[in-house]
A and B are shown apart, each in its own frame.
Chain A
Amino acid sequence: MASYPKAAPKKVYYLVRTRSLFSCFLHWVFFLSVVVLILTGFYIASPLLFHGHGEAFQAYIMGYARLSHFVAATFLIAGFALRLYLSFFLCSRHDILDILPTPKNIAGAAKLAFYYLTFHGPHHIYRYVNPLGGIGVFSLITFCAVQIGTGFLLYLPCADPIFWGGAVPLAQSLVLKLGGLQSVRLIHHIVMFFLMAFIVIHVYLQIWKNTMFEEADIASIFSGYKMFPEEIVRVFDKGFESYEVKEE
């Protein structure tokens, strides 16, 4: 993107890097682990589909479901830890600022939501995560944090007390504050539906944006690149992270 053609006869598009390949990889780690967590979680909550045949020692279905649940949860937690580390220390820009519900982000998200619903009003085209998506990601992180926390509270009573040491009584005092394991189980179950609702809205909006807007490219979650027209890239090159579209 060093030089632009002087007079463009046709609209010219440029590939712009919007996320690192490693963060794309982490996105799909989250995707896989959340899918496994939801499926095995449904089985653990209410074992409907599969039943063990034969003697108890010949089947280990619930055991494998729980094992998969814990392994997927480990991947989710490790992924989150890496992603947080990246956004604070390694990325060239602190992309955590894109998702925090700051007044600026909330105003931007409101404008964008209004535009998506009515196609009226001024709005911005963003290079990185747009504020509406940022708030979505923030709520997703909140849901996941609740799931990880309550998941630990449910897991620790059956965990190895020597390995986990003081965490086991600590978990019990937290469970006491939350009103018992049954309440924790209910929270874990309900927040899972919020996560599912997020996934529905997230997937819908990505596909919808991909069909409606030229700058929204669903392929960017695989490649890390998006295509933007020249006039927008010029603005980005000046150091801005968004391009303002004014209402005529």
Chain B
Amino acid sequence: MEQKEFMEKHKMLYSLDRREFMLFCTKIAAVLGLAPSFIPKIAEAIEEGAKKPSVIWLHLAECTGDSEAFIRSTYPSIEELVLNILSVDYHETIMASAGDQAEELLEKVMRENKGKYLAILEGAIPTGTPPGPGGKPGGFLTIGKRTGMELAREVCSNAFAAICVGTCSCFGGVQAQYPNPTGAKGVEDAIGVPTLKIPGCPHNVVNSVATVVNFLLLGSLPRTDKYGRPLFAYGKRIHDHCPRRAHFDAGQFVEKFGDEGAMNRYCLYKMGCKGPQTYHNCSLAEYNDGTSWPVKGGHGCIGCSEPNFWDDMAPFYERLPDVKLPGVEATADKVGFALVGAAAAGAAVHGAYTFINRGKFRNREEEKE
């Protein structure tokens, strides 16, 4: 493509100059792990964004954090993303219409793009039945007289693909934490439709944009791991690419926040960092256009892209979860040392008992002879 023509076209389509546009394409190629030769292909794929896949973005039980992350996208900027690259037709937070008008729009988009649109879901789905008269399953979340379960099932079953953004829609998130009063579940568990998952609290917008670019480029969704998370972003643990990893191997740890180790940017392993258990690309992509991420800021990872992280990764400032026995909740070390102590005490008591009674015992042995 002639450079002039290219620039003209992009000037028309996007408010980016060519340099900015190619920077974005290079960035996405890097996130997807593609060779530089793919950069022009990405540019073409986005340029053909005239197709502009229709997107329905559903808000379920959540805090809008993932929408907040989404609208912080810099390359491409949110207006490019929402208006030019995608056609975000239904998004409760940023759409102009409201009430019946919005519901009609949802129906219309679903009817016109059946089997072609992308459903992006944010938030868990409560499956429990609220107490009191008129309570029906999933009634804890009701939008436009429909429960979240009904809404998500209808939108996902007619979509080309369902993409979950954020840990809540992927795995349930904080709503699904014990004791989970609303019976909240991740979208796939709640309605049984397979979904691509981009977990994180919030998710990193680079990963959702890269997934969309993958869709535009190849017409399919990226390869995923066993949890349904795209491998380009969730194929390695945070620990594997952590900038503080050298200090882990060297045995140099932050002992408490603000100490000398913290000032030297030592490893946060002893502060309960869950990087070794967490699959995510934070350490490479970072958040907010590569500005920072928790470990860079001096706080351990809390494992927000892992299933049930509120239950499994807590306490956030300890290495291991507590052990819950009937009536007792203690650290694994306390339970373990109690066990070994009990074995030693048993041995000591038995030894003392047989030592005191050794006379009887020896007599019996001698009588035998």
Q: Is B237 an interface residue (CB 8 A)?
A: yes
Task: Please state if A62 and B248 are interface contacts (CB–CB under 8 Å).
Answer: yes
Q: B323-366 toward A: CB 8 Å interface, digit per residue (1/0)?
A: 10000000011011101101110110011001001101100100
8 Å CB interface, A45-65 against B: 45-47, 50-52, 55-63, 65
Task: Please state if A59 and B323 are interface contacts (CB–CB under 8 Å).
Answer: no
Please give the number of chain B residues whose Cβ is less than 8 angstroms from any Cβ of chain A in the complex: 53
Residues of chain B within 8 A of A50, CB atoms compared:
251
Knowing A56-B250, A204-B347, the reply to whether A180 touches B368 (Cβ < 8 A) is: no
Task: Please state if A47 and B249 are interface contacts (CB–CB under 8 Å).
Answer: no
Main DSSP-derived SS at the B contact region: helix
Q: Is A194 an interface residue (CB 8 A)?
A: yes
Task: Please state if B240 and A185 are interface contacts (CB–CB under 8 Å).
Answer: no
Knowing A181-B277, A200-B344, the reply to whether A189 touches B336 (Cβ < 8 A) is: yes
Residues of chain B within 8 A of A52, CB atoms compared:
247, 250-252
Stretch at the interface among B32-40, B55-63, B89-97, B305-313: B305-313
The CA-CA distance from A63 to B251 in the complex, in Å, is 8
The CA-CA distance from A47 to B251 in the complex, in Å, is 7
Knowing A119-B357, A169-B226, A208-B354, the reply to whether A193 touches B277 (Cβ < 8 A) is: no
The CA-CA distance from A117 to B368 in the complex, in Å, is 19
Closest to A172 in B: B226
Residues of chain B within 8 A of A193, CB atoms compared:
335-337, 339-340
Stretch at the interface among B71-79, B156-164, B195-203, B268-276: B268-276
The CA-CA distance from A63 to B267 in the complex, in Å, is 13
Contact size class for A? 35 or more
Task: Please state if B346 and A201 are interface contacts (CB–CB under 8 Å).
Answer: yes
Task: Please state if B226 and A173 are interface contacts (CB–CB under 8 Å).
Answer: yes
Task: Please state if B306 and A200 are interface contacts (CB–CB under 8 Å).
Answer: no
8 Å CB interface, B186-244 against A: 225-227, 237, 239-240
Knowing A46-B270, A180-B312, A193-B339, the reply to whether A62 touches B320 (Cβ < 8 A) is: no
Task: Please state if B361 and A212 are interface contacts (CB–CB under 8 Å).
Answer: yes
Knowing A180-B306, A190-B332, the reply to whether A57 touches B340 (Cβ < 8 A) is: no
Residues of chain A within 8 A of B361, CB atoms compared:
119, 212
Knowing A190-B323, A200-B340, A212-B361, the reply to whether A181 touches B276 (Cβ < 8 A) is: yes
Q: Is A179 an interface residue (CB 8 A)?
A: yes
Knowing A62-B248, A119-B360, the reply to whether A47 touches B340 (Cβ < 8 A) is: no
25 contacts between A and B (CB under 8 A): A45-B319, A47-B270, A56-B249, A56-B252, A59-B252, A60-B249, A116-B350, A157-B240, A158-B240, A182-B303, A185-B277, A186-B321, A186-B332, A189-B336, A190-B335, A193-B336, A193-B339, A197-B342, A198-B343, A201-B343, A204-B347, A204-B350, A212-B354, A212-B361, A245-B368
Binding site for B on A (CB under 8 A): 11, 45-47, 50-52, 55-63, 65-66, 116-117, 119, 157-158, 169, 172-173, 176, 179-183, 185-186, 189-190, 192-194, 196-198, 200-201, 204-205, 208, 212, 245, 248
